[in-house]
Amino acid sequence: MMNLKHYLSLYLALWKNSVAREMSFKGNFILWIIVEILWFGLQLCFVSVLFSQTDRIGTWSKWQMVLLVGGSNFIQQIYQAFFLTNCTNMSELVRTGKMDFFLLLPVNTRFLVSLRVVDLGAFFNALFALGVMTYAALQLHLQPTAGQLCGFAALCAVGVLIHYSLMFILATFCFWTVRAQGIVWGYYNLFNIARMPDEAFHGIFKGVFTFVLPVLLVSNVPVRVLADKIASANTWLLLLAVGIFWAVASEMFWRFSLRHYTSASS
């Protein structure tokens, strides 16, 4: 309990530092929120263009698609708030030698590397995504139960864990390549696939983006819970199993990477 209290106080200090940093550049903070909202708006426009030519994609109606786009963006923004900046900056820690300093601190290194920076603007964008989801749910006359809402929140958390685990594995390649931002951003760009229904894909493409790089699984399953499109418990059990697998794999790869890490001064 003392150890947990120590890490909570440390994380609170990291939050305070992030708030101070963001408020030092208020214009950039507000501008980035606006840019993200505009990009989200373009995704919604894309849905409108699609449904000007058809009334369904698989079994997904227009407002179910809007719900999916909102859910996908919500998961993406929560992930971005906590982990994206930290994963993309890991290469700089290795290149500049700051990783050596982190390894010497009397705290868990992965904790610091993963959580030292918080993107506060992403929380505002996540709230905007929830607003779009609420409007889509009203158009669909959905009345989700407390169990569905809790299930959605839990599955979103699992989805964020999967994204973090996979991107953290990719980021640790910087121990060998020094710069791994291109690999990390490459995976982040795959999030765009997540706004589409899994029924729109078939064959090996669907298999890869459901099991290997499960961006379709991460976004579709939570929204299916809200939209009453889950036929059995196997789907969300699959998401949970994939989350556990990649979480364990990322920890094992992190430890393997540290054993092969050579400091910037060597």
Evaluate whether 173 touches 180 at the Cβ level (below 8 Å).
Answer: yes
Mean pLDDT of 181-208: 81
The per-residue pLDDT for 121 is 87
Query: 15 vs 116, 125, 188, CA distance in Å?
Result: 8, 18, 24
Measured at the CA of 152, the angle between CA 150 and CA 158, to 5 degrees, comes to 105
In this predicted structure, what is the pLDDT of residue 243? 92
pLDDT digits (tens, 9 = 90+) for 196-243: 888 888 888 888 888 888 888 888 899 988 887 776 678 888 889 999
pLDDT single digits (tens) 75-133: 999 999 999 989 988 988 888 888 888 888 888 999 999 999 898 889 999 999 999 99
Buried b (16+ CB within 10 A) or exposed e, 222-237: bbbbbbebbeeeebbe
Q: Which two tokens stand for residue 173?
A: 């390649």
Phi and psi, residue 228, nearest 5°:
60, 40
| pLDDT band of 158, cuts 50, 70, 90 | very high
**Please, are residues 68 and 197 in contact by the beta-carbon 8 Å criterion?**
yes
What's the pLDDT at 260? Answer: 82
Dist. CA 213–CA 163, nearest whole Å: 9
Q: What is the largest CA-CA distance in the chain?
A: 63
